[in-house]
């Protein structure tokens, strides 16, 4: 008897193991290799002829790729430090220098890392210059001013005035003129001349990657969903950092193939998917594993989010790359009024057939978070679906109360119709 | 007479709401604004009376349903007053894109209050650089048309130039008050200078000009009442919602000799020049005036200006008087403190306040310790 029971248990474990293996996203390994190679190359370039630029996550990276400048993203690094549970100590360094605890934890952590070379990869390579685009927040302006003073390197500000309603002509003209000025700035920084053919090639590849990314996210309209938005948060790293390169196009082609195959074979990311939710705001990086486990246990899949969808600019036009790029960068999700944000949320909810929305009220990100209470009411009014708002911070775990947040998520999911 | 005038202004500062309501009762059309980047001349020329909201010391009852607690208490308490129906005398409000909080507050305010007029002015971050000036001019033009559409009639250029003259006169008079205090702090003290300037946020500028003229005349003829305060300080930050800071300093034997506040020196800095159209002239002023930390002119402009002001005013210390959660100001603190210490040997103190939990006692203790250090007690 005893032996037989053991054998049955062994079979079940093997089956569960096989099932887990079947559900695992295989392209994740390729992504890790790609990002590892990228960070190693960037670190190796420090102190060589190769130019390194630090750039904000919403900034126009394509011109950098075109000029063979290595783009480095403090926000991506911040996410990495957060996920590795190392950002709090870096924040504390900045706080010791007099930076308020109420400032964005990406900025605090980055300043701490710049000073101590701390974090999972021993800090970022020193920049030759900085590119700051305020389409995601005003915080990046103050943060990059500080970096510019700290490193003593030039700062280019790509200024994208806030857009209420349709894009006004004078905002578009300002954005296009700056795109030309930005190119001239890069010519000065690199000593190279602008190569229009090269730029077109980069622009086409960037658009190709963005369009692949949009298709990948769209695979999640399937039931069961082939991934959760937590996977998308990880898998988006190349689109944020290296769009415009062939490697990224290749990687996303592979990922799209895998996602399509999963959909075809009905392979979901969760063992069971009873509920589908929309996520709003930047991830709680240090808590992804725990939250992922919780949602899996609750058989609830976070099928889409407003964050990774921010990298699926619509309406980019390869015929007029500079202009359409200038427009796309100006009209990103965080640079538009609440009504337009609400439209995006509702359209995601409809497209992905969700049962509700979870909003992360993110202490570190005012443009993403202020207005969420109104957006939540508007979402429910327009879709009839419930919304849960949880309080946290994207990388400063000192503000997070796990028991309380997880309890609220459980209550919310259990009460979904 | 001078004292009575100052007392009137202080009372107004303490109770601005009833005064704003009176403007409405007397047939005026008050339109609220929050930020010193508003081209008030356009509202003034349209027959509206720009009135400033500086937050209020109060318990928040309505705004928490719309704004998280991690944004500044000026935004939270202003919205709270509007939602509680305490600003029903307003015809509307004008929002300017400065920090992230104000950018979002505009939408929240528009969606949840029912005022007839809602104005938005979108500003670039890059100020004082050729590339952003054409945008500024067209944006100020768009704002003018927004006001015209609301009025249902055209604003004539001549009316705008007239309002510009009134406001320029106001700036010159305010500058004169500040100069007099800087050069002779025994004649004009910190509270008087701040009160006569602040009172102007709640009246037509013609009236305020007359008030400032009366004040200056009396001050020039006055005899210093004893020695100026032993410790002279410069205050930098956003706004002073109440006169408390000035009173506390006086009680502690110190005073304010100059400031770098949005409700102070930054408000009236730089006249509108006679250049091109009224839009061009107004835009150029906003673009070249002293920067708010949410904007960018250069990496050094704020420190350079602060150090110059400290030197010219002879301030012995600097107080950073800030709103908690105010990112633009808080980011600059370590750098500015370092500059003050290293290049001018001037000590500084950071005071963060929140209007819904304002603690006079705590403020007093910290100020006292700081002043004693400077005075060498």
pTM: 0.96
Which residues in B lie closer than 8 A to residue A326 (C-beta atoms)?
none
CA angle at B200 for the pair B198 and B203, rounded to the nearest 5°: 140
Which chain B residue has its CA at the smallest distance from A177's CA?
B131
Which residues in A lie closer than 8 A to residue B103 (C-beta atoms)?
138, 162, 367
Which residues in B lie closer than 8 A to residue A339 (C-beta atoms)?
107
Check CB contact of B100 with chain A, cutoff 8 Å.
yes
pLDDT at residue B358 in the model: 83
Q: Are A67 and A192 in contact (CB under 8 A)?
A: yes
Q: How far apart are CA B229 and CA A121, in angstroms?
A: 55
Exposure on the CB side of residue B370, measured as CA atoms within 13 A? 25
For B182, the token pair is 């800087």
Which residues in A lie closer than 8 A to residue B296 (C-beta atoms)?
141, 145, 157
Mean pLDDT of chain B: 96
Which residues in B lie closer than 8 A to residue A145 (C-beta atoms)?
296, 299, 331
Which residues in B lie closer than 8 A to residue A161 (C-beta atoms)?
97, 122-125, 135, 139
Q: Are A353 and A319 in contact (CB under 8 A)?
A: no
Q: Are B321 and B353 in contact (CB under 8 A)?
A: yes
pLDDT at residue B377 in the model: 63
Closest CA to A331 of A58, A90, A96, A79: A58
- Between chains, do B125 and A138 touch, taking CB under 8 Å as contact? yes
Which chain A residue has its CA at the smallest distance from B70's CA?
A363
Write the pLDDT tens digit of every residue in A365-394: 999 999 999 999 999 999 999 999 999 999
Query: Rounded mean pLDDT of B233-254?
Result: 96
Q: Which residues contact A371 (CB under 8 A, 6 or more apart)?
A: A338, A341, B104, B107, B108
pLDDT classification of A315: cutoffs 50, 70, 90: low
pLDDT classification of B228: cutoffs 50, 70, 90: confident
Q: How far apart are CA A203 and CA A322, in angstroms?
A: 9
pLDDT at residue A1 in the model: 45
- Between chains, do B325 and A157 touch, taking CB under 8 Å as contact? no
For B352, the token pair is 């963060």
- Between chains, do B331 and A99 touch, taking CB under 8 Å as contact? yes
In B312-331, the residues whose Cβ lies within 8 Å of chain A are 324-325, 327-328, 330-331
CA angle at B301 for the pair B300 and B305, rounded to the nearest 5°: 120
Which chain B residue has its CA at the smallest distance from A98's CA?
B334
Write the pLDDT tens digit of every residue in B102-155: 999 999 999 999 999 999 999 999 999 999 999 999 999 999 999 999 999 999
Paired residues of B232 in beta bridges? B255
- Between chains, do B126 and A159 touch, taking CB under 8 Å as contact? yes
Q: How far apart are CA B71 and CA A372, in angstroms?
A: 13
Write the pLDDT tens digit of every residue in B350-361: 999 999 888 889
| Of A99, A161, A366, Cβ closest to residue B135 | A161
CA angle at A89 for the pair A238 and A396, rounded to the nearest 5°: 65
Write the pLDDT tens digit of every residue in B258-270: 999 999 999 999 9
Taking 90 as the threshold, does the pLDDT of residue A214 lie above it? Answer: yes
Write the pLDDT tens digit of every residue in A403-412: 999 999 999 9
Which chain A residue has its CA at the smallest distance from B332's CA?
A142
- Between chains, do A370 and B68 touch, taking CB under 8 Å as contact? yes
Of the residues B64, B127, B135, the best mutation for testing chain A's interface (the one with the most A CB atoms within 10 Å of its CB) is B135
Query: Which element (helix H / strand E) includes B260?
Result: strand B254-260
- Strand A275-280 to strand A356-362: parallel, antiparallel, or no bridges (unpaired)? parallel
Q: Strand, coil or helix: what is B156? A: coil
Q: Are B113 and B92 in contact (CB under 8 A)?
A: no
Write the pLDDT tens digit of every residue in B279-322: 999 999 999 999 999 999 999 999 999 999 999 999 999 999 99
In B112-141, the residues whose Cβ lies within 8 Å of chain A are 112, 120, 122-126, 131-132, 134-135, 138-139
pLDDT at residue B103 in the model: 97
Closest CA to B87 of B140, B16, B147, B158: B16
Distance to chain B for A99, nearest Cα, Å? 6
Taken as a whole, chain A contains a residue count of 417
Q: Are B312 and B182 in contact (CB under 8 A)?
A: yes
- Between chains, do B138 and A367 touch, taking CB under 8 Å as contact? no
Check CB contact of B183 with chain A, cutoff 8 Å.
no
pLDDT classification of A6: cutoffs 50, 70, 90: low
B221 burial type by CB count under 10 A (0-12 exposed, 13-18 middle, 19+ buried): exposed
Write the pLDDT tens digit of every residue in A337-368: 999 999 999 999 999 999 999 999 999 999 99
Check CB contact of B288 with chain A, cutoff 8 Å.
no
Q: How many CB pairs under 8 A join A and B?
A: 133
Q: Are A358 and A388 in contact (CB under 8 A)?
A: yes
Q: Are A111 and A91 in contact (CB under 8 A)?
A: no
Distance to chain A for B106, nearest Cα, Å? 9
Q: Using the structure block, give the residue that is written with the tokens 């769209």.
A: A218
For A394, the token pair is 């994207």
CA angle at B171 for the pair B167 and B173, rounded to the nearest 5°: 115
SS (H, E, C) A118-154: CCCCCCCCCCCEEEEECCCCCHHHHHHHHHHHHHCCC
pLDDT classification of A8: cutoffs 50, 70, 90: low
Q: Are B199 and B54 in contact (CB under 8 A)?
A: no
CA angle at A138 for the pair B78 and A120, rounded to the nearest 5°: 125
**How far from chain centre, in Å, is Cα B71?**
19
CA angle at A184 for the pair A183 and A189, rounded to the nearest 5°: 95
Which residues in A lie closer than 8 A to residue B301 (C-beta atoms)?
none
- Strand B231-237 to strand A70-72: parallel, antiparallel, or no bridges (unpaired)? unpaired
- Between chains, do B132 and A137 touch, taking CB under 8 Å as contact? no
Distance to chain A for B337, nearest Cα, Å? 9
Q: Strand, coil or helix: what is A414? A: helix
Which residues in A lie closer than 8 A to residue B122 (C-beta atoms)?
161-164, 171
Give the strands of the sheet with B117-121, arranged side by side: B49-52, B30-33, B92-96, B117-121
Query: Which element (helix H / strand E) includes A255?
Result: helix A246-265
Query: Which element (helix H / strand E) includes A301?
Result: strand A300-305
Query: Which element (helix H / strand E) includes A392?
Result: strand A387-392
Q: How many CB atoms lie within 10 A of CB A391?
A: 19
| Of B131, B134, B330, Cβ closest to residue A103 | B330
- Between chains, do B122 and A369 touch, taking CB under 8 Å as contact? no
Q: How many CB atoms lie within 10 A of CB A47?
A: 9
Distance to chain B for A169, nearest Cα, Å? 9
- Between chains, do B299 and A97 touch, taking CB under 8 Å as contact? no
Closest CA to A210 of A310, A86, A298: A310
pLDDT at residue B215 in the model: 97
Local structure of residue B227 (DSSP, 8 states): P
Q: Strand, coil or helix: what is A185? A: helix
| Of B68, B131, B328, Cβ closest to residue A142 | B328
Which residues in B lie closer than 8 A to residue A141 (C-beta atoms)?
125, 294, 296
Which chain A residue has its CA at the smallest distance from B350's CA?
A98
């Amino acid at each position: 008897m005893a032996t037989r029971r053991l054998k049955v248990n062994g079979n079940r474990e093997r089956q569960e193991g096989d099932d887990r293996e079947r559900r695992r996203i295989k392209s994740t390994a390729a992504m890790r290799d790609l990002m590892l190679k990228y960070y190693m190359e960037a670190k190796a370039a420090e102190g060589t002829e190769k130019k390194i630029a630090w750039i904000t996550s919403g900034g126009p990276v394509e011109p950098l790729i075109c000029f063979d400048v290595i783009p480095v993203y403090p926000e991506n690094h911040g996410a990495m430090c957060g996920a590795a549970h190392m950002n709090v100590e870096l924040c504390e360094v900045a706080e010791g220098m007099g930076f308020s605890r109420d400032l964005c934890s990406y900025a605090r952590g980055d300043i701490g890392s710049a000073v101590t070379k701390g974090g999972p990869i021993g800090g970022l390579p020193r920049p030759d210059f900085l590119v700051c685009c305020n389409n995601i927040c005003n915080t990046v302006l103050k943060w990059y001013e500080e970096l510019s003073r700290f490193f003593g390197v030039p700062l280019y500000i790509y200024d994208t005035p806030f857009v209420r309603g349709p894009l006004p002509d004078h905002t578009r003209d300002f954005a296009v003129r700056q795109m030309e000025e930005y190119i001239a700035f890069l010519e000065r920084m690199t000593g190279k001349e602008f190569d229009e053919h090269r730029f077109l090639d980069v622009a086409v590849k960037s658009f190709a990657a963005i369009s692949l990314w949009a298709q990948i996210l769209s695979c999640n309209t399937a039931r069961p969903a082939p991934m959760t938005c937590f996977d998308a948060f990880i898998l988006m790293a190349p689109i944020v950092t290296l769009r415009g390169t062939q490697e990224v196009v290749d990687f996303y082609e592979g990922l799209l193939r895998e996602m399509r195959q999963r959909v075809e074979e009905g392979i979901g990311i969760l063992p069971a998917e009873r509920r589908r939710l929309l996520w709003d705001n930047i991830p709680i990086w240090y808590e992804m594993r725990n939250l992922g486990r919780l949602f899996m246990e609750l058989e609830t899949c976070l099928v889409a989010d407003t964050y990774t969808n921010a990298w699926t600019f619509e309406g980019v036009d390869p015929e007029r790359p500079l202009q359409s790029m200038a427009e796309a960068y100006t009209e990103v999700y965080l640079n538009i009024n609440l009504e337009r944000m609400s439209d995006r949320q509702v359209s995601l909810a409809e497209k992905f057939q969700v049962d509700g929305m979870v909003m992360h009220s993110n202490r570190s990100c005012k443009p993403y978070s202020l207005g969420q209470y109104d957006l939540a009411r508007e979402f429910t009014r327009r879709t009839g679906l419930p919304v849960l708002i949880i309080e946290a911070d994207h990388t400063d775990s000192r503000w997070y109360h796990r028991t309380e947040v997880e309890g609220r998520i459980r209550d919310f999911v259990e009460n979904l119709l | 007479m001078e004292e009575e005038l100052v007392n009137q202004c202080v009372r107004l500062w303490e109770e601005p709401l009833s005064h704003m309501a009176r403007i409405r009762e007397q047939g005026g059309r008050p339109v609220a604004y929050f930020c010193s980047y508003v081209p008030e001349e356009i509202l003034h020329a349209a027959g509206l009376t720009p009135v400033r909201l500086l937050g209020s010391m109060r318990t928040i009852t309505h705004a928490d349903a719309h704004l998280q607690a991690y944004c500044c208490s000026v935004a939270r308490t202003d919205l709270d007053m509007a939602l509680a129906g305490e600003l029903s005398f307003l015809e509307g409000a004008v929002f300017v894109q400065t920090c992230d909080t104000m950018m979002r507050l505009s939408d929240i305010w528009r969606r949840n209050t029912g005022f007839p007029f809602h104005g938005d002015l979108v500003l670039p971050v890059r100020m004082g650089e050729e590339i952003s000036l054409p945008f500024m001019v067209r944006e100020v033009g768009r704002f003018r048309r927004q006001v015209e559409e609301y009025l249902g009639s055209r604003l004539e250029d001549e009316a705008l130039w007239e309002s510009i003259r009134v406001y320029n006169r106001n700036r010159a008079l305010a500058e004169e008050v500040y100069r007099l205090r800087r050069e002779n702090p025994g004649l004009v003290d910190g509270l008087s200078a701040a009160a006569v300037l602040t009172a102007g946020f709640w009246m037509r500028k013609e009236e305020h000009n007359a008030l400032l003229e009366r004040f200056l005349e009396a001050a020039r003829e006055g005899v210093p009442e004893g020695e100026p305060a032993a410790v002279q300080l410069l205050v930098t930050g956003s706004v002073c919602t109440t006169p408390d800071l000035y009173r506390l300093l006086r009680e502690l034997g110190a005073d304010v000799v100059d400031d770098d506040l949005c409700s102070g020196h930054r408000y009236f800095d730089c006249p509108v020049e006679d250049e091109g159209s009224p839009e061009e002239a107004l835009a150029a002023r906003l673009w070249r005036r002293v920067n708010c930390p949410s904007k960018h002119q250069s990496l050094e402009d704020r420190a350079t200006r602060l150090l110059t002001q400290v030197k010219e005013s002879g301030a012995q210390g600097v107080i950073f008087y800030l709103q908690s959660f105010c990112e633009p100001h808080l980011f600059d603190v370590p750098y500015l403190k370092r500059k003050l210490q290293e290049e001018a040997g001037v000590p500084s103190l950071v005071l963060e306040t929140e209007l819904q939990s304002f603690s006079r006692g705590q403020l007093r203790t910290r100020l006292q310790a700081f002043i004693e250090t400077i005075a060498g007690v």
